[in-house]
Structure 1
Amino acid sequence: MKTHFALLALAGLFFWSSVALGQEDPQPNPNHEPTEVSPVRGIERKDRPRSGNPDPQANAAVPATQAGRGGNGGPGGNGNGGPGGNGNDGSGGNGNGGPGNNGGGPDGGNGNGGPGGGGNDDGGPGGNGNDGPAIGFRSYDGTGNNPNAPAMGAAETQLYRLMAPAYSDGISAMAGEDRPGPRAISNAVCAQSDSVPNPVGASDYLWQWGQFLDHDIDLTDGADPPEPAEIPIPTGDPFFDPTGTGTAVMSFNRSIYDASTGQDSANPRQQKNEITAWIDASNVYGSDEERAHGLRTNDGTGKLETSAGDLLPFNTEGLPNAGGSSPNLFLAGDVRANEQAGLAAMHTLFVREHNRLAEEIRTRNPELSGEEVYQRARRLVGAMMQAITYREFLPVLLGEHGPRPYQGYRPDVNAAIANCFSTAAYRFGHSALNATVLRLDAAGEEIAEGHLSLRNAFFAPQRLTDEGGIEPILRGLAKQACQNIDTFVIDDVRNFLFGPPGAGGFDLASLNIQRGRDHGLPSYNDARRAMNLAPAQSFADITQDAERQARLAAVYDDVEQVDVWVGGLAEDQLPGALLGPLFATVIRDQFEALRDGDRYWYTRVLDRNERRLVENSRLSDIIRRNTDIGDELQRNVFRVPGQR
């Protein structure tokens, strides 16, 4: 009889699933041709817009050679070059541009695509002027963003394929049948014994914001009924088979997928994104009306529910929640809010910011209905998440290798979440985790309850309700440098994810490798080929680090076997960045698409004063105005003190 470990409720989707706006490319290249780089270690800059067909269910037609979001052929396809016309970049007025055929200018909309002006001059939400966007507010489920493809980016639609699937049977069978087992790879490549802080001074907010943001843009749950694909445990594994039975396995449930796919090689299996792809703060508000309604006070104030201590509300109505529908768990817009204490603190922070904004909007505009107050505050919170992501988070992660400057809305861009982004590249954060969550008082000292080990922070609301609230954690995240992004993963999630071995504990590295195979992701080298990057000819082409080379060679027979998540993390980092070329390219592509394909992008829909408020609101500002934290917090919380 096999020894089973408890089924992971989240199907392995624990996130750890750039250039600021207006900043120029480091070496401007108007033709977007590849820059001169090392054939293996450089990042190519060729324009690859996701243009041509924004239909979110068009995956079956993606050719093997397509590397970008283009419509026909190779990288970038032959889609339109961008919206043209003579508009004013979504600022309303009398623009007459609209999408043009191969035009190069910004989108002018139809003369009413932007805000109508008005508002106040002091940086707060707009006043009695015509400060609302002519295009209205977002839907909860993400539909209707693109009038030409209303389902694009919506909840319950397919993940996008940047690269053709590589199922073993060409249809749906797990990829990588010729590769070593995931746990064997994890033990050989990912075991971490020493702390390795990152080289650019990035703080723990790098991974914490990354997780919070991830839960705004993608969720792929497990199949129901389950479709097991157990992970074999090497005989004598010191954590999962200490008695040497040779029969131990780690439970794994394959991902939910579109039931209309996976029937033949012309229509291979396509997994679903169950929440909106847009950066719209759906993790705060929900991706459906029922959840959104359940989170509101519904008393005419436009506010969100809270519990004692101004914390998240508890799930007293039994809405779907990771960890079960227990009334002892917090409730938020995303079901994963209880996964760890730092994440719950971030959710709490943005609920407080919504309620603060609602009060301010109500004071300035007493004639507004509760619904209007709520929607205006919701729009501003989503805008703040966008601005923080592109102006603070991505520059630390990608340096000069991030998204190129915004050129306006592009209705021909498919903004759906790429399968290789959510299933591989954006799981970089699992390597950045520290084993200890610092909890600090205003003087920078450890609180009486002590610091918190990450393994004891999972599904533990009491860490906030009974141990000092969110402030100690929010201070601690800013003061500790995160681990370097490489193949190494701390024991807290490599052996003790959600519990000790044999009692619910899992290996996150193994889950990531298996999830990539479940989704039919290609090998590391095939992923590089798909993204127009030269394939590695040897392990030394992946990394110059001798230890990493040796670890890869110890478990993989050939460089062509390397799994995409493993190889992407093993790459040498680009100058000034925390990622290597493959993951930097995939992540850059995704964040360009999320921005360029979003008709509600904040620079298009906010008036001048709202935009000033948003762009002047660093994450540190939002923390200070919603907590007891003051000047002990540095201005840029994404870098530890003393780092710029």
Structure 2
Amino acid sequence: MRPATTTKSSGTTIRPASSTAPGGSTTRPASTTRPATTTAPAGSTTRPATTTAPAGSTTRPASTTAPAGSTTRSSVASTSAAPTGTTSSGSGGTTPSGGGCVRSKYRTIDSSCANANNPFWGSAGQPFGRLLPPSYADGISQPALLSNGSEYVSARTISFGVFSIDETPDPSNTLLNIFFLNAIGNDLSLPAGSNDVVSCCVNGQLVPDPPSRCFSVKIPGDDPIYSWFNITCLNYGRATTAPGQPGQPLQQINEASSFIDLSFVYGTSLEQSNSLRTFSGGRLKAVRRNGVEWPVIDPAGCTWADVCYLVADRRSYQTPMSATVHLLFLREHNRLANQLRLLNSAWTDEIIFQEARRINIAQYQYIVYYEYLPRVLGRENMLSRGLIFEGTGFSSDYSSFRNPSALAEFNVVQAFMQSSVTGGINFYMNDTVQSARLSDLAGNLGSLETTFEMFFAGLTKQQAAKVDTSFSIELKNFMYRGTASVGQDLVALDIQRMRDFGFARYNDYRLRCGLGRLATWEAYNATQKAPCAKTIEKLQSLYGTVDDLDVFVGAAFEDPLPGSVLGPTFSCLLQEQVLAARTGDRYFFELGGQDGSFTAGQLAEIRKIKLSKLMCNSFPSTLNIQADVLSPISDMNPVVACTSLPGVNLNLFV
């Protein structure tokens, strides 16, 4: 689930009920400390409002031999010493200087210069990448129409009429999976405009003369839920876009960096990052209460939660469950900083901070690529595509011609994955299990510090729902309801977000992914092993032709690929994002021969880490845990002592 504000992806599984729409995948609530989209992030040079760089693909001169997505490793020697040119305190590494980048072993906070030849590719404040150009009715901004010239049916009609309400338990995955995915989504994507309050619907009614950004979801008069409460629209404000060229389609801006770089912990600008640091011992701000660290309280406060923490991305604290991943890496950073300070007392605060951040990001990247993503895409599928590798050497797949800008289409996949969210959240107190409604937990952080361990235990023990075409009734009717009887339909808001972004149609993406166009409903039916005639009939009545299917809807009903939870179209979209995030990042943890590369010994240590070990490090009351916390406890995945899990030997990093 993700936030339903005006704007990634989507991110955390719950969204504030504020004015703008959603979430699930395409949107997230924004942190109040993020820089405005109209100004360049601090710590980097001013950048053009738009970019002409290719989006979502690798482009290079015909003569180049630079690898893109290579599946081989090379034993390139890495650089262990920090090169000259490191920027001033707090800047976080190389920054563009006179149009170029200064050599440094540390990445910048906004991730500018992750591509030295194209410094702003993938940095915060740039437009999203695209696998396919936007598809608008007027070629610029107006939502697409059906082939016959009529409007698409309401997103609420699609949500309630096509996607069923159900939660089939998934015996292979814990609930932690979806909250970890949403943290990744927050890391990669934050559509600009999330902070804006755009009032399109008040008390469920469209306001007179709504603002131009309004793109509210129309509720049919016979809606089985909302009609009882006289609700005729759901609030949605269109995402902020970059100034475009005349006659060219809108480009939505991504306020997050496009890399797997823990921006939800460290921020996306120098100013924001500095506000989160102590500038003593390399640590991030935290206070100790009851023997453990918590983020400090945000003095500015907020309106969407009863307790507001000072964090880089407030989506991280929409629920007690979403707080888990942020707390994990916040505490891990400070643990690393404390240990590094003891191991090298000559290091300054800045060096300790940068080294702890560098190791923390590397551990996170390893877990994302080698522990989490194989569960979604399938290990063999990832190996064959060059998304992960076997062996112990360095990778050599970075390409300076690869535009790493986060793909807008990633949000479509993340929205579909919200089907694994359960409407009831279990929490464990001693040997008893209790459950709370998901909608009751949104913004309810007042008791976080006294109940956190209970919810954390639930995330590692409770089974997720299966990733399929069924969504929890909580997501479709009750999110962000406050004291009201009903709330938001996050699935409908996600669909509306996709139409706002102007995503191409399902068949267009099939062609882009080399899957072939499906000309008839019979051909579409054949993509499913157990097709449902009733579903096909419903889709035909709503869309008319297969060519008009929304990509979210069309891809959702495809059968999963072997080893994957996703069908071929969603797998393609996610693989493209995963490939761009590693082959376009010269600071990717296993890349050799770069200024920021680890030594062979350091890389071997990073490859020892597991998510369960980080949880043992960060949650001290946890003495025993299953080695694979993304899988439920079983005979094949028993509970073990935390002390038995391997960790990283930091002596090799000083």
Change over 3 Å in CA distance of 1:278–1:573 after alignment to 2: same
Partners of 1:344 and 1:630 lie apart in 2 by 17
The answer to whether the 8 A contact 1:283-1:334 is kept is: yes
Is it true that 1:191 corresponds to 2:164 in the alignment?
yes
Within 5 Å, give how 1:123-162 maps onto structure 2.
135-162=104-131
Is 1:439 matched with 2:427? yes
Aligned: 1:598 with 2:608: no
Question: Matched residues, percent identical?
Answer: 26
Cα distance in 2 for residues equivalent to 1:182 and 1:149: 38
1:219 aligned residue (184, 190, 212): 190
1:627 aligns with 2:633: no
Question: Alignment partner for residue 181 of structure 2, among 190, 199, 210?
Answer: 210
Over 3 Å counting, the alpha-carbon distance change for 1:56 and 1:580 in structure 2 is farther
Asked if 2 retains the 8 angstrom alpha-carbon contact of 1:312 and 1:332, the reply is: no
CA distance in 1, matches of 2:435, 2:197: 40
**Structure 1 residue 427 corresponds to structure 2 residue 411:** no
Q: Which moved more, 1:134-143 or 1:485-494?
A: 134-143
SS in 2 for 1:439: strand
Relative to structure 1, the CA distance from residue 526 to residue 134 in structure 2 (aligned partners, 3 Å threshold; closer, same or farther) is closer
Alignment partner of 2:307: what SS? coil
Report if aligned partners of 2:460, 2:632 keep a CA contact under 8 Å in 1: yes
Find the counterpart in structure 2 of residue 114 from structure 1.
79
Cα pair distance change 1:7/1:284, threshold 3 Å: closer
Cα separation, partners in 2 of 1:222 and 1:104, compared to 1, 3 Å: closer
Q: Corresponding residue for 2:372?
A: 393
Is the alpha carbon distance of 1:307 and 1:462 closer, same or farther for their aligned partners in structure 2, counting shifts above 3 Å? farther
Q: Which residue is equivalent to 2:491?
A: 509
Q: Match for residue 238 of structure 1? A: 224
Q: Which amino acid aligns with 1:115?
A: S
Q: Secondary structure of the equivalent of 2:604?
A: helix
For 1:191, give the aligned amino acid.
Answer: S
Write the distance in 2 (CA, Å) between the matches of 1:381 and 1:284.
10
The answer on whether the counterparts of 2:50 and 2:244 sit within 8 Å (CA) in structure 1 is no
Asked if structure 1 preserves the Cα contact closer than 8 Å seen for 2:319 and 2:444, the reply is yes
In 1, Cα distance between the equivalents of 2:336 and 2:75? Answer: 30
Shift in CA distance, 388/216, structure 1 to aligned 2, threshold 3 Å: same
Q: Name the CA shift for 1:358/1:466 in 2 (closer, same or farther; >3 Å).
A: same
Structure 2 residue 332 is the aligned partner of structure 1 residue 353: yes
Conservation of the 8 A alpha-carbon contact between 1:114 and 1:135: no
- Counterpart of 2:642 in structure 1 is none
Q: Deviations over 1:562-599 (max 9, x none)?
A: 21112222211111210000110111111111111111
What is the CA deviation profile of residues 414-469 of structure 1, one whole-angstrom value per residue up to 9, with x for unaligned ones? Answer: 111111122x12322211101122212465x32xxx333211121122241232x2
- 2:646 maps to which residue? none
- Paired position in structure 2 for 1:615: 607
Give TM-score scaled by structure 1 length.
0.77
For structure 1, list consecutive stretches of 5 or more residues without a partner in the other structure: 1-5, 18-54, 63-67, 72-76, 85-98, 118-132
Q: Per-residue deviation at 1:559?
A: 2.1
1:331 correspondence with 2:310: yes
Query: RMSD value over aligned CA atoms?
Result: 3.1
Say which structure is richer in strand.
2
Give the 3-state SS of the residue equivalent to 2:401 in structure 1.
coil
Q: Secondary structure at the match of 1:209?
A: helix
1:535 lines up with 2:508 in the alignment:
no
Change over 3 Å in CA distance of 1:302–1:490 after alignment to 2: same
2:236 aligned residue: 252
Amino acid at match of 2:465: Q
Instruction: Select 1:172's aligned residue among 141, 152, 177.
Output: 141
Distance (Å, rounded) in 1 between the aligned partners of 2:257 and 2:54: 23
1:514, CA displacement in angstroms?
A: 0.8
After superposition, the C-alpha distances for 1:153-203 in whole angstroms (9 at most, x for unaligned) are 1000010111121111111111245321100111111231x32123x7122
Equivalent position to 2:66, from 51, 71, 83: 83
Measured against aligned partners, the alpha-carbon deviations of 1:242-299 in whole angstroms (never above 9, x if no partner) come to 16x5x711111101111235x41xx210101101111111111111122211212233
**C-alpha displacement at 1:8, in angstroms?**
3.3
What does the per-residue CA deviation read over 1:509-540, in whole Å, with 9 as the maximum and x for residues that have no partner? 11111111100101112221222221233141
Contact residue 528 and residue 535 of structure 1 kept, 8 A: yes
Measure, in 2, the Cα distance between the counterparts of 1:16 and 1:308. Answer: 35
For residues 130 and 81 of structure 2, the distance between their equivalents in structure 1, rounded to whole angstroms, comes to 38
> Distance in 2 between the 1:393 and 1:434 partners?
19
Partner of 1:579: 566
Where does the alignment leave 5 or more consecutive residues of structure 2 unmatched? 1-15, 28-47, 83-101, 199-212, 390-394, 592-596, 638-654
Conservation of the 8 A alpha-carbon contact between 1:331 and 1:337:
no
Could you tell me which residue of structure 1 aligns to residue 392 of structure 2? none
Q: Secondary structure at the match of 2:602?
A: helix
1:389-416 CA-partner distances (Å, limit 9, x unpaired): 0111111001122351354321111111
1:206 to 1:61, Cα distance in 2 relative to 1, 3 A: closer
Alignment-derived partner of residue 276 in structure 1? 257
Query: 2: CA distance between counterparts of 1:435 and 1:601?
Result: 36
Counterpart Cα distance in 1 of 2:460 and 2:349: 35
Question: For the Cα contact (< 8 Å) 1:339–1:458, is it kept in 2?
Answer: yes
Q: Is the 8 A contact 1:208 1:342 kept in 2?
A: yes
Query: Cα distance, 1:504 vs. partner?
Result: 7.8
What amino acid does structure 1 have at the position aligned with 2:112? T
Distance in 1 between the 2:501 and 2:116 partners?
30
Q: AA paired with 1:627?
A: F
Following superposition, the deviation at residue 615 of structure 1 comes to 1.6
1-structure distance, mates of 2:553, 2:197: 29
Whether the 8 Å CA contact 2:259–2:585 is kept in 1: the answer is yes
In 1, Cα distance between equivalents of 2:559 and 2:338: 48
The residue identity in structure 2 corresponding to 1:593 is A
Question: Are 1:518 and 2:503 matched, yes or no?
Answer: no
Contact persistence 1:16–1:207 (CA under 8 A):
no
* Residues 428, 613 of structure 1: alpha-carbon distance in 2 compared, 3 angstrom cutoff: farther
Q: Does the Cα contact within 8 Å between 1:159 and 1:419 map onto a contact in 2?
A: yes
Q: Which residue does the alignment assign to 1:466?
A: 450
CA contact (8 A) 1:478 1:638 kept: yes
Which of 362, 367, 370 does residue 349 from structure 2 map onto? 370
Q: Report what 2:556 is aligned to.
A: 569
For the 8 Å contact 2:51–2:126, the answer to whether it is kept is no
Task: Give 2:437's aligned amino acid.
Answer: S
Change over 3 Å in CA distance of 1:483–1:304 after alignment to 2: same
> For residues 418 and 201 of structure 1, what CA distance do their matches in structure 2 show?
28
Secondary structure in 2 matching 1:419: coil
Distance across 2 between alignment mates of 1:172 and 1:278 = 28
Deviation at 1:307, TM superposition (A): 5.4
Verify: 1:286 aligned to 2:255, yes or no: no
Cα deviation for residue 335 of structure 1 reads 2.9
